[in-house]
Amino acid sequence: MKEVYAPFIPGTYDKNSLNELSVLLDKEEKYAIDNLLWSDTGYFPSVSFSVAHTEHGIALKYFVQEQHTQATFTNVNDPVYRDSCVEFFIAFAGYDNYYNLEFNAAGTALVGFGKDRNGREQVPDDKVSSIKSFSTINWADDPAGLNVWELTLLIPFDVFVYHDIKTLKETTCRANFFKCGDDLPEPHFISWSNIDSVVPDFHLSDFFGTIKFI
């Protein structure tokens, strides 16, 4: 089973200091999202992430290189998976149900909770709005080139409304990380921990890896 290690980053961060947190995440280990699923077109964006935790939340940064980039959705809990989208699914220790946190390249967020893809509970807009994001997009000079974008996220523990999370120090959870883009010229589905299924579905928690908060 694949593992990710999320170190503790001291300090308190807000929307005005996310660039500082972004620089710190640059120094952490990067993990590749490199399992191309349910596709035979050969289109394969390059994606990696780094992850840590702070006193008040989870810090996460995605690094993406792709030919087609789209960020059309701007409202909380919009269907951002139709844009250029990165995702983080996490099941806290001792629980089967998990949260799906999905973000387009501009940082617009969608968050849900449940045991599989059916009947998921949408996390309230006001909680999802508390997620802080910092996005940079460098557009390619020609259509054949690659757009390069990075997305830094600070996810407060309060977003996890079905749990009372005060700290994640010394805990191990189950998780997976994804990249997709349902409405892009080249739709794709990429995972960190491989999914052994003939049917396209990120919501298969049996294939989650582990994330250790240290």
Q: Which amino acid is at 183?
A: D
What residues of the chain score a pLDDT lower than 70?
A: none
Strand partners, 94: none
CB 154 within 8 A of CB 132: yes
Structure tokens at 72: 């059309």
Instruction: Please report the pLDDT score of residue 144 as a whole number.
Output: 85
| 40-53 CB burial, b ≥16 within 10 A, e <16 | eeebebebbbbbbb
Instruction: Please report the pLDDT score of residue 162 as a whole number.
Output: 97
Structure tokens at 45: 């964006």
Instruction: Please report the pLDDT score of residue 161 as a whole number.
Output: 98
Residues 6+ apart with CB under 8 A from 156: 56, 57, 130, 131
Instruction: Please report the pLDDT score of residue 143 as a whole number.
Output: 82
pLDDT tens for 65-90 read: 999 999 999 999 999 999 999 999 99
- Distance CA(12)–CA(16), nearest Å, equals 11
Instruction: Please report the pLDDT score of residue 23 as a whole number.
Output: 98
Instruction: Please report the pLDDT score of residue 45 as a whole number.
Output: 98
CB 89 within 8 A of CB 175: yes
Residues 6+ apart with CB under 8 A from 136: 149, 150
Strands 189-191 and 35-37: antiparallel
Helix (H) or strand (E) holding 18: helix 18-26
| 63-93 CB burial, b ≥16 within 10 A, e <16 | bbbbebbbbebeebbbebbbbbbbbbbbbbe
